[in-house]
Structure 1
Amino acid sequence: MFRTPVLPLAALALMTAAAPATACNPAMPVIRSDKGLVFTADAFAHPVWRQRASDGRMRSYGRQIWRGRIGARTTYLTFDEIPGTSGPNHHLAYRLDSPPAPLRWERAGRWDLGESFIVRGGPLDGVWSVTNCTP
Structure 2
Amino acid sequence: MSTQRPHSVSVAGVIIDDAGRALLIQRRDNGHWEPPGGVLEAGETIPEALEREVLEETGIKIAHPATLTGIYKNMNALIIAMVFRCEALGGSATTGAETKAVRWATRDEVSQLADEAYAVRVLDAMDAANPPAIRAHDGVKLI
TM, length-normalised to structure 2? 0.25
Higher relative contact order (CA 8 A, sep 6+): 2
Higher helix share: 2
TM, length-normalised to structure 1? 0.26
Greater C-alpha Rg: 1
